[in-house]
Every structure is written in C-alpha cells, then in structure tokens.
Amino acid sequence: MGRLTLTALMIWALCFFGADCGSATIQSPRSSQVKTEASPVITLTNDQPQNSLPIKAGELTNNAEVLEVAITKVTNPRMTPLSISVYLSDSEEEKSEPKRHLIGNFSLYPPDQPGKFLLSAAPALRAVSRSDASDKERDLRLVFEMKRIDESRPWTSVEVTIAEPTWRAAEK
C-alpha cells in the first residue's frame, strides 16, 4: 500500500512540475533548450468582459471571409447563459474613436462547454476596405465582448479562454 501511494505521488509531481504554461520547449540534439512563444489567447471574465487581439499584417488575404473562433476553456460554475460578440475594430491615426464592425456573435450551450464557431466576416471586411486610410495608418483589431444573455441578472464568476482565431476562405 505504501509503494502504491509513493508511485501515485511521484506521477502527480511529474505531471504538476513538468507542466510548462505559456510556451513550448523544443529540445535540440545538443541539449540546449529553445523557447518558442505560444499562440496568443484572450481571456474574458465577469470583471473584464471585453478584450482584443491585433490583426497581423498579411493575416487578411483576399480570400479570408470566415473567422474561426475556438473557445478552449470555460469556467462557469453557476451556468450563467453567455453570448460572445466579435467585432472588427478599425482605428485610424487621425480619429480618436475606433469604428467597430460586427462580425457576428454566438452563445455557449451548455454555458460551461468549449467549442468552435465559424463567423462570416465578409461584410465587416468590406466595410473596412472601403475606408480611405492606408494600411500603414490603420490599427485593425479583433474585439471580443462577453455578455450575459439575461442582463437583469447579476454576473457570476465566469472565465472564458479563446485561442488565436484563424481566417479561412469561404467554402463554395
């Protein structure tokens, strides 16, 4: 019985101390370690229900019309019904207030389960492309906003983790 407990504790310790949060480690043949950055993630909470990611230059190709949003983790013990809205934010150097173009929204069901969602981004991308600003003067961001479906009820403890979204071509 003592040997089984010791084995279980060793496995737990290896799992706990072997986890590396935030980056991946690649072992080279010469045993020097190289760290690589993990993909950006966004966390939305009941205290911070809005967050954003910059859109990198070259990320939007001519055929990018669909945005894939992956919810990777949900902590929602009280099962508060949620919706998440995704906007394309377009701010120009001369203007103080960025324009937000709705890409789409979705709800988590059940409200404590992760999932993947596809949103048609074509109308928001067309609205941004009609702007007079050049790409150098522009700061494009994806803005994520979490809302309670029943806004008359108070927030409970909620945390939603969103992986870096990917742009895809529309399937024909």
| Helix %, strand %, coil % of the chain (to 5) | 15, 45, 40
CA distances from 63 to 13, 23, 37, 72, 131 (A): 47, 31, 27, 26, 19
**CB-based contacts of 137: which residues, under 8 Å, 6+ apart?**
92, 93, 94
AA identity, residue 2 = G
pTM for the structure as a whole: 0.72
* CA gap 114, 128 in Å, rounded: 30
The DSSP bridge partners found for residue 91 are: 139
AA identity, residue 160 = V
Q: What pLDDT score was predicted for residue 96?
A: 67
Residue where the block lists tokens 């906007």: 87
Neighbours of 2 (CB within 10 A): 6
Q: What pLDDT score was predicted for residue 71?
A: 97
Q: What pLDDT score was predicted for residue 4?
A: 52
Per-residue pLDDT tens, the chain, 172 aa: give them: 555 544 444 454 444 344 333 333 334 344 344 444 456 799 999 999 999 999 876 677 677 899 999 999 999 999 999 999 999 998 765 566 788 999 999 999 999 999 999 999 999 988 887 765 555 556 889 999 999 999 999 999 999 999 999 998 888 6
> What distance separates the 2 farthest-apart alpha carbons in the chain?
74
H helix or E strand, kind and range, residue 123: helix 122-129
Q: What pLDDT score was predicted for residue 31?
A: 39
